[in-house]
Amino acid sequence: MSDFQPKQYLLVHYGEIGLKGANRSRFIDALRQNILQKLSGLDVRPDRKRSGRLVFRLGPSVRWEEVARRLRSVFGVAYFSRAWSVPLKMEALEEAVLAHLPRKSGISFAVRTRRANKQFPLTSMDIDRRLGAAIRQATDWHVDLTHPDLTVEVEVVFQEMFFYFDRVTGARGMPVGTSGTVVNLLSGGIDSPVAAWYMLKRGCRVVNVHFHGAPLTSRASEVKAIELARILTGWGGSPTLYSIPIGQIQAEIMRTSPPDYRVVLYRRLMVRVAQEIARREGAAALSTGESLAQVASQTLRNLRAIEQVAELPILRPLIGMDKEEIVARAEQIETLAISNLSGEDCCTLFIPKHPVTGAKLERIAEIEARQPWNEWVDKALSGATVIDVHASPVDILQHYPELLERLA
């Protein structure tokens, strides 16, 4: 045995972005940046470019479990692994693989080689066979090509070969930031954080906007929204949350509108205001957690009535999902526990027993003609607080002088 110590790498494969023609390098650069940001503070450095994969050098002190834990929430990653590299020599590969094999007995295995470097004299199949034979000789393992307990993967690239034993499935999707910006309407509920997650998954930068009923309700939903937005930053969400009190405007709407139209009008208020935030943030669309027919306000006719005030597209990634599917996703992305906490939602303010399910545009036009909408939108915007969800609770409290006074 030589005393050659193979270097340790993180190998990242990106599925879908491989297909994106001219945009390819922009996508890859964004993915590399997002990965480095996610792994910051760990001893991980970007390495040379290799064909079709991103390679990072892992320092000796790095805990692989921590790298894997963090990487699982980076969109654009198809799968990744901890790999070792050896020079382009079959003997070097055999020796290093044998030295790194997990110490297990009686298991089945398979070798799978991919060769980006077609100049290497051995074919993928040659390598599979030779390495397989060497492993059989050194262990009591047997070959099983269909359901192996362990897969030894080899990738032959231009200056070296990589090998690894376990692939970790990534979050897939597209790198956050490569699809433009959306403003997501984030309530304290279950659906809208899941909607934000799906927009992140498709590569959007997602800025959240929350409306609350202060001063007519407590700020409980706002605390939930801050925490939800903070959890979403773990998936690449923006740390900026716009928090907007609309209680007084809701009271005005209540005073001047028929009860059955209130919910639709509250929603039209939110869309109008969110659209102004979108302008500031350079966003190209809004997104919501609406799912068709889930509640009375989410009928096709009502969605149409809400959408009428939108100049930007309103994206609704949950539109075809059942509540159970949404709940399961919320659990997986770790927003469910927060969403399930009780917290007054501003939309429950002054809600009649029978809200309209087939809102009529003419009726809305009639009602709104008598209402000062420009003034209301300006008023809502002027009350907006821009919160950095990573700030300490004490710093976040600085936005609420009246609360601080009460606490003092």
Query: Binding residue for ligand ATP (CB under 6 A) from 153, 155, 191, 227?
Result: 191
Number of residues in contact with ligand ATP under rule CB under 6 A: 19
When asked if residue 257 is in the footprint of Mg ion (CB under 5 A), the reply is: no
Q: Which is nearer to ligand ATP, 6 or 189 (CB)?
A: 189
When asked if residue 297 is in the footprint of ligand ATP (CB under 6 A), the reply is: yes
Nearest approach, Cβ of residue 188 and ligand ATP (Å): 7
Q: Which is nearer to ligand ATP, 203 or 289 (CB)?
A: 289
When asked if residue 250 is in the footprint of ligand ATP (CB under 6 A), the reply is: no
For residues 61 and 52, the answer to whether their CB atoms sit within 8 Å is no
Nearest approach, Cβ of residue 395 and ligand ATP (Å): 22
When asked if residue 227 is in the footprint of ligand ATP (CB under 6 A), the reply is: no
Tell me the sheet residues that pair with 407: none
When asked if residue 343 is in the footprint of ligand ATP (CB under 6 A), the reply is: no
The one segment of 60-68, 71-79, 340-348, 365-373 that binds ligand ATP by CB under 6 A:
340-348
Query: Binding residue for Mg ion (CB under 5 A) from 177, 189, 245, 317?
Result: 189
DSSP string of 23-37, one letter each residue = GHHHHHHHHHHHHHH
Strand ranges of the sheet holding 314-315, from the earlier edge strand across to the other edge: 314-315, 285-287, 181-185, 205-212, 240-245, 385-388
Question: Per the structure block, which two tokens stand in for 188?
Answer: 């304290």
Q: Which does 289 bind (CB under 5 to 8 A by kind): Mg ion, ligand ATP, none?
A: ligand ATP
Name 25's Cβ contacts closer than 8 Å, sequence gap at least 6: none
For residues 242 and 384, the answer to whether their CB atoms sit within 8 Å is yes
Helices 191-201 and 220-233, axial angle in degrees (round to 10): 20
Virtual CA dihedral for 336, 221, 213, 298, nearest 10 degrees? 0
Nearest approach, Cβ of residue 13 and ligand ATP (Å): 34
Question: Per the structure block, which two tokens stand in for 173?
Answer: 């999707």
The one segment of 77-85, 113-121, 157-165, 187-195 that binds ligand ATP by CB under 6 A:
187-195
When asked if residue 295 is in the footprint of ligand ATP (CB under 6 A), the reply is: yes
Query: Binding residue for Mg ion (CB under 5 A) from 34, 184, 187, 243?
Result: 187
Instruction: Give the three-state DSSP class for 171.
Output: coil
Neighbours of 49 (CB within 10 A): 12
Going from the C-alpha of 331 to that of each of 85, 214, 290, the distances in angstroms are 38, 29, 18
Q: Which is nearer to ligand ATP, 122 or 295 (CB)?
A: 295
When asked if residue 345 is in the footprint of ligand ATP (CB under 6 A), the reply is: yes
When asked if residue 294 is in the footprint of ligand ATP (CB under 6 A), the reply is: yes
Q: Which residues of the shown chain bind ligand ATP in the complex (CB under 6 A)? A: 185-187, 189-192, 210-211, 270, 288-290, 294-295, 297, 345-347
